[in-house]
Amino acid sequence: MLSYTDYPFFCSSSPSSSSLSNASLDSNSQLSSDIEMVSGFHPVRDAIPEDRVADFGSASLDEDGVSRAQARHSTPPPSKQPAASASKLPVPQSTPSRPSIDSSERWDRTEKPRDDAIKKWLHDVLLDKVICDYPVVDFIFTVFGFKKEDFTEKLLARPPDDPYRLSESHCNDYITGEYTKKSHRSVERSAYPPLENLLRHLYDQLQSASPFNGAEIVALNDHLVRGSFAQVFPDFLTSWLHGDQGQLWKLAANAGELKKKLVEERPYAAVIDIEKLPDRNAPYNPPPQAAPIPGSSSVASEAASLEPDAQTISTAQSSQASSSSSRRGLKRKASKIPDGLSSKSKRRKSKSAVTSLLSDFGTVTSGTSFLIDAKSKIRGNELQIMKYLHELGSAGIRSFSTGFLIEDYTMTLWYMDRMGVVKSVSFDFLKEPHFLLLYIAAVKFATPQQLGFFPLLKFPNDRIDKDVLESYKGVSLDLSGSEDMMPTTLNDLRFVFDISDTRPLISPFSSMGRATIVAPINADPSSKTAIELCGTSKVVTKISWQSKWREAEDHFVRVARKALDAKDSTKEILKHIVDIKCSLTLSMEQLHLPRAAMEGIPKTDDYERVCRVLVMTEYFPLRLVTSPEEFKTIYVGALRGHRAVYKIARILHRDISINNIMFYIDATGRVIGVLCDWDMAKELGEITIEDMVRDTILSQAPPCASSTTPSARTAPQQTEQSLQKPTTAGAGSQPATRERKYRTGTFPFMALDLLRFVTPPHNLYRHDLESFFYVLVWFVGKFRPKEKRIGVVRKWLGANFEQVGVFKSNSIRSMDPIDEIVDGGDDAYRSACSPWIRALLMQLIKPVTTKYETIRDEVKDLWYERKPELAKLSLDENIAAAWKLYPKIAEREDIITYKSFMRCLGEEVGDDE
């Protein structure tokens, strides 16, 4: 048998984490790399997460429960019809349709998303997650830990006759220069070298008895910085790799962007007076703001173009020094502010006070920091720096990323973490160079953690260099305080990274949301606890940022394994369930991350994330199977494991995808299929067939609720795909107002009900079985055994649920598009698996789809026929009007069962299954 150690490892990872090495993604699968929402949402590697409200109502009903319910109610009993309500009830809102970056236009050569597609996606994802105008001094202190006093306490004192200063020649050259990309062939860059020299001149003036972190300011000169997501050309990096060519995002500390058009006579402060830096939390008079709009942000920014050179100035930057009357093309000698005089625009600092974040109903803010209004747009220049932070935060093992944006003479500082973006107050870096110097000093002397690297990493001597970041050699991961599966608290638990070409680091696709990282590790030889826990076996760590309200993955696995182990008849199934060694959950406060220390930044329960770290057995991806027989064994094994956990522990996986079915080789040389990634799982109760009838009727919103129920076609594109939505209580009880149902799963593999119902239905066992079918079609049609890669069915990707759902529905009913996918696969796998696909399609998937289309049309006709009177009725009264569809809906729910599914595969099902 072929040795699987010959191939790069593949481990259990969350929907947001990559399941393929970056190299394999770039060259083989046509997917750029991980968005846990899409990613960014990555439709193959990221589950579509649920919204920021807990779902107590979701439950599921197995096929036996359906049969019992049907036996009791062969016809819809009048007593079971929903009672009319005296008041109108709103239809529960559906999960908004969200853009997918992988459905966007791409560069032909690299197959990576085009620049405009990335910006559009970032705009939609971040629109309600940007905090503006955070005070500069507070920003620098909370992110980098550097303050005014550190100039004398940590740095070497400057002689009285040689203070910190700006280079006059560099200032003059910058003021009279430009830096604009007029077209893809014409670039005016006369302002670029002066700014580079100015920054380096300040950088060199900052000296300390202790060594700095080793990162240097690098001007890129239009050279590409290589990463896993997109083709990106930032203007500046602070990097451990010196030189403008061959730069890698994983070797960078932060990024910068320059936009310079304004040329005018302008004063500047040559001598930098550190004493002008305000104290932290000093009183501040905010810049003028627009009048509050009810139900929206207190500041309404003007809608701006998404073009990168857009120069529309938002209210958030109304303090920018440039004026609308400035003349372009004017080149005059700049004048400096005499030594000892203050600049004309003295920056005052604020204590931000955002009081409310109601992301489900628009943003409401007050104080001096504010959220970008959901009705406005993020400017093109801002999207440009966000694009760099997104790429940087996705490279390596990080918790956040930072950078700066310079527009003419105005500078803003930027911070992006798993919850969104914080943007500083803008300042004129020539008139107020003390802020610029403070920022440069903070970056130069920042520790690895202050530069965004994961806090539980222990770098050798707390130092970073390019060799360390290439493979994290010598870096340890301290997980002391974790719990094993008993659970027992584990002390002195340490691991070392073992990253190589055959065991690659899987970085997250997105800087936001769960941002799952999977890395190969070994027990630290000096950690007795780690050796006792893992021995010499190969394990991986999975680091992800989950909603604090979501039950942790290890909880579901722990409950499932305990239930299976309790019965002799199901112990054999344990081999099909992911083996987690230990787990650790920490808050942002416990990790001392910047957002936790930022005063006034909203930290509502619905919005907050916690870091969850798992150590688990290493598994292989489906792309490493060596024969059709192996694949079929793995597939059936995963199905049996999925069924057993559902039946015995009442846990539904809810995220069956091509990357969540994996395998290993046991001691006898047999392949064992394993179902991984239980992040989106849910412990279920039982629902009745009446609940299913209600869900199906509400698949088309009745007229009375049409104004309050966004459809899958038209829902606002404002919720981040990578932002995971909680479903069950994780830390304390939750208000009843959070009881909603949301679409859950990985986009291309979701059941059609989840894609097409206007109102999200209950998660059902048959939905997961339908996802298993889509995995089968995808694998057979896109697996390339010689290349060890799995491609994508691009038509199953798309911009929203409805479009993909309609396409898949049409494909299933006509069957030809399914055949086209399968016919494009490898001959051996197609020959072996086509009988499975045909049987499932003809006997189960097509009948369920066809029956829904019939029911859907009848519901729509009913709403249209009764529209005048329905509009006056309550929701329950409208549902009662459609209750005559009960028999057809009940019949549909009995088609896809575990027994019928396995029968199509030619597999026997035991009585206890």
Q: What is the pLDDT of residues 118-140, one digit of tens each?
A: 788 888 888 888 999 999 999 99
Q: CA 37, CA 724: separation in Å to the nearest integer?
A: 8
Q: How many CA atoms lie within 13 A of 237 on its CB side?
A: 31
pLDDT of residue 706 exceeding 80, the answer is no
How many angstroms separate the CA atoms of 656 and 643, rounded?
Answer: 12
Q: Can you give the pLDDT at residue 371?
A: 56
Task: State pLDDT tens for residues 186-213.
Answer: 457 888 999 999 999 999 999 988 888 9
Give one DSSP letter per residue of 342-365, joined into a string: PPSSPPP----------TTS----
Which residues share a beta bridge with 584? 613
CA distance 241 to 250: 10
- Does residue 333 surpass a pLDDT of 60? no
Task: Give the C-alpha separation, 60 to 357, whole Å.
Answer: 32
Look up residue 769 and give its DSSP letter.
Answer: H
Does residue 310 sit in helix, strand or coil? coil
Q: Give pTM, 2 decimals.
A: 0.77
CB 124 within 8 A of CB 99: yes
* Tokens read off for 709: 């129920």
pLDDT value of residue 111: 47
What pLDDT digit, counting tens, does each position of 217-229 carry?
Answer: 999 888 889 987 7
User: How confident is the model over 514-541, as a mean pLDDT?
Assistant: 95
Q: How many residues does the chain have?
A: 913
Please name every residue paired with 113 in a beta bridge, in sequence order, or none if there are none: 106
Give the pLDDT confidence score for residue 742 in this predicted structure.
67
Helix or strand holding residue 391 (H, E) = helix 380-393
Contacts of 461 (CB under 8 A, 6+ apart): none
Residue in 502, 497, 676, 397 with CA at minimum distance from that of residue 24: 502
In angstroms, the CA 600 to CA 367 distance is 9
What the block records as the tokens of 134 is 């955070």
Beta strands in 630-697 (DSSP E): 651-652, 661-665, 671-675, 682-683
Instruction: Give the residue from 533, 473, 442 showing the smallest Cα distance to 145.
Output: 442
Q: How far apart are CA 282 and CA 579, in angstroms?
A: 52
In whole angstroms, give the CA distance from residue 261 to residue 281. 34
Least confident of 214-228, 390-404, 696-710: 696-710
DSSP string covering 765-781, please?
A: HHHHHHHHHHHHHHHHH
Say which DSSP state 842 is in: I
Residue 157 neighbours by CB distance under 10 Å: 8
Q: What is the mean pLDDT of the chain?
A: 76
Say what the pLDDT of residue 702 is.
61
Could you tell me the residue ranges of all domains in the chain?
A: 115-278+372-451, 472-618, 687-701+742-905
Q: Report the distance separating Cα 533 and Cα 539, nearest Å.
A: 11
Taking a C-beta distance cutoff of 8 angstroms, is the pair 501, 533 a contact?
no
Q: How is residue 272 written in tokens?
A: 């930098």
Query: Residue 255, Cα to own-chain centre: how many angstroms?
Result: 20
